[in-house]
Structure 1
Amino acid sequence: MLLPLTPAASDLKHQLTQQRNWQDTYRQLLLAARQQPPLDPTACNEQHRVDGCEAKVWLQVSNANGQLNFTFASESRMVYALTYAALLPLQGQPPSFATNFDIQDWLQQCNLSHQLAPSRSNGLYQIIRRAQQLAQAFS
């Protein structure tokens, strides 16, 4: 049985689905992503780099008492914001939730997936795949 969404994920979904157009959604997403503390710059190295993205992305996960914490950084504000939206439902959840969560469906529910160019979509799914691999390591 999957756990319910965290209040933060539910709030973000509500905020994004209430926007009138893609520009407003984009603006709201960028504002919301400011809440996420970025990855420590010293961790922006090859060990944490996500392959397959046009913009450089680094991703790290920690597990404290069975709850995952994803931290990340990107050269691109938009990629950072999309990563924030994609991974927010996984924050504070157990590894089994993260590995089984349907992030593609989540992005559709947030009205994000249909607005992504193919290259950005492919890069985002590489980030998601890597996040779920890292979560699996804690299972």
Structure 2
Amino acid sequence: MASPAFEDIAETFDFLDDWEDRYRHVIELGRAMPPMDAALQVPATKVEGCASQVWIMPVIEDGRFDFQGDSDAMIVRGLIAILHALYSGLSLAEVTRVDAHAELARLGLDEHLSSQRSNGLRAMVERIRLLAADAG
């Protein structure tokens, strides 16, 4: 149930043979993401369980899920951009049904992220699922 934006990322990852190229692409995705307003970077939007500072603020309009996110680490900003591509525009019910582990496994992230980054990514996915469930 991946969005076209996420499919584009998956296709790019398929094209890039080397993990270092994929890593650079993740960082580029983070750089391209608009920054989150510093006023929204508060304890209520902070994602616990991440080694880096991570904030996610839901934006729900007409039953569709979107979010703003940011981090103090460029690779994590890139992971947030990937999650944005995965979830943005879905209905609240669809967000809770996305098999994020399977979708992200298509990118090979699980094989190349440190255990701390993997734990942080899981924490971000869980936070997104909870935000959508709470809003629904």
Which interval holds the TM-score relative to the shorter structure? Answer: over 0.9
> Which of 31, 34, 49 does residue 31 from structure 2 map onto?
34
Residue identity opposite 1:14 in structure 2: E
Count of residues in Structure 1 that have an aligned counterpart in Structure 2: 136
CA distance in 2, matches of 1:106, 1:22: 17
* Residue matched to 1:49: 46
SS of 2:121 mapped into structure 1: helix
Q: 1:70, 1:91 within 8 Å by CA — same for their partners in 2?
A: yes
- Counterparts of 1:78-89 in structure 2, within 5 Å, are 78-89=75-86
**2:23 is the counterpart of 1:20:** no
> Which of 2, 6, 28 does residue 5 from structure 1 map onto?
2
SS of 1:26 mapped into structure 2: helix
* Residue matched to 2:101: 104
Q: 1:17, 1:111 within 8 Å by CA — same for their partners in 2?
A: no
Please list every run of 5 or more consecutive structure 1 residues that lacks an aligned counterpart in the other structure: none
> Which of 128, 132, 136 does residue 131 from structure 1 map onto?
128
CA distance in 1, matches of 2:133, 2:46: 18
Percent of residue pairs bearing the same amino acid type: 26
- 1:129: Cα distance to partner? 0.5
- 1:5: Cα distance to partner? 2.6
- 1:31: Cα distance to partner? 1.7
CA distance in 2, matches of 1:33, 1:16: 15
Larger % of helix: which? 2
- Deviation beyond 3 Å, 4+ runs, structure 1: none
- TM-score, scaled relative to structure 2: 0.93
Please list every run of 5 or more consecutive structure 2 residues that lacks an aligned counterpart in the other structure: none
SS of 2:135 mapped into structure 1: coil
Q: 2:31, 2:77 within 8 Å by CA — same for their partners in 1?
A: no
- 1:6: Cα distance to partner? 2.2
